[in-house]
């Protein structure tokens, strides 16, 4: 009798709870939902914040306007701090694979062309601009989860549901063993309940020291970004 009741209850839950909600507490399944959602996206905008450990110094950005269009178009604008007003465009072949940079602060009259992988661009960053989009992070997480299945010492768990920037999110923790090729020891992943996308990552090294933290707020997807959004001739920009 109990078995029949359990089956009835399970069927009832299936009909009343969204499929994504049933799977959301299992990170492996949740990431499949994330992948499927990202595959439907042509572009997105958000406000990005980051904190990265670079040469034993923390580099922080707050309130950076971010635009991305598949597959190789990026625009960023700093809206506060010492770099306020700085703008960066990367559009692949369009600008010969160089970043177009309009400097902010006291140097706001200067425009530069910079190699995104060169020492100047990487001086205060752990990743080039071409690794800043969600697709890169999602693929990195997917690979880590696949590799973790075959490594002892890996632990992946749901932590709790909470709010982040007035959004309902689910927090997961992925812990990986050292010397096995994983990017970090512990990664905290925050998945937005409605967007089905990651909106925050915290990565810790093997001494449990923060390596990098990224937060994406005010995210809007498939807004119809055009080539002009990644063009130095855009009159809304200051190049």
HSE, CB side, 13 Å, CA atoms: give it for residue 207. Answer: 2
**pLDDT computed for residue 14 by the predictor:** 38
**pLDDT computed for residue 23 by the predictor:** 40
Residue 72 DSSP one-character state:
T
**pLDDT computed for residue 109 by the predictor:** 73
User: Cβ(85)–Cβ(105) under 8 Å?
Assistant: yes
**pLDDT computed for residue 1 by the predictor:** 52
Question: For 11-63, what is each residue's pLDDT tens digit?
Answer: 333 334 343 343 446 888 899 999 999 999 999 999 999 999 999 999 999 89
Q: What is the pTM of this model?
A: 0.86
Question: For 198-213, what is each residue's pLDDT tens digit?
Answer: 999 999 999 999 999 9
Question: For 95-146, what is each residue's pLDDT tens digit?
Answer: 999 999 999 876 777 899 999 999 999 998 999 999 999 999 999 999 998 8
Give residues with Cβ within 8 angstroms of 209, minimum separation 6: 53
Exposure string for 86-120, b = 16+ CB within 10 A, e = fewer: bbbbbbeebeeebbbbbbbeeeeeeeeebebeeee
| Residue 238: its H or E element | none
Phi, psi of 136 (to 5 degrees): -65, -45
Can you tell me the mean pLDDT for 162-186? Answer: 94
Phi/psi class of residue 193: alpha, beta or left (left: φ > 0; alpha: ψ in -120 to 50)?
alpha
| Bond preceding residue 71 cis, omega within 30 of 0 | yes
pLDDT above 90 as % of the chain: 77
162 - beta bridge partners? 169
Q: How confident is the model at residue 162 (pLDDT cuts 50, 70, 90)?
A: very high
Gap between the Cα atoms of 57 and 53, Å rounded: 5
**pLDDT higher than threshold 60 for residue 5:** no
**pLDDT higher than threshold 70 for residue 170:** yes
């Amino acid at each position: 009798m109990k078995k029949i009741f359990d089956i009835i209850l399970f069927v009832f839950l299936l009909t009343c709870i969204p499929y994504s909600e049933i799977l959301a507490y299992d990170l492996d399944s949740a990431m499949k939902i994330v992948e499927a959602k990202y595959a439907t996206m042509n572009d997105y905008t958000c406000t990005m914040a980051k904190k990265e450990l670079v040469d034993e110094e923390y580099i922080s950005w707050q309130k950076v306007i971010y635009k991305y269009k598949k597959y190789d178009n990026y625009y960023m604008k700093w809206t506060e701090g010492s770099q306020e007003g700085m703008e960066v465009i990367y559009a692949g072949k369009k600008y010969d694979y160089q970043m177009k940079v309009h400097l902010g602060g006291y140097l706001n009259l200067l425009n530069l062309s910079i190699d995104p992988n060169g020492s100047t661009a990487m001086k205060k960053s752990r990743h080039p601009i071409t690794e800043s989009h969600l697709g890169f992070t999602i693929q990195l997480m997917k690979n880590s989860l696949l590799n973790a299945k075959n490594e002892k010492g890996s632990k992946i768990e749901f932590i709790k549901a909470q709010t982040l920037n007035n959004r309902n999110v689910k927090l997961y923790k992925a812990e990986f063993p050292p010397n096995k090729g994983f990017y970090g020891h512990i990664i905290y992943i925050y998945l937005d309940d409605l967007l089905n996308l990651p909106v925050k990552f915290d990565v810790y090294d093997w001494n449990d020291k923060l390596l990098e933290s990224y937060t994406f707020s005010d995210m809007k997807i498939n807004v119809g970004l055009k080539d002009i959004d990644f063009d130095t001739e855009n009159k809304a920009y200051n190049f």
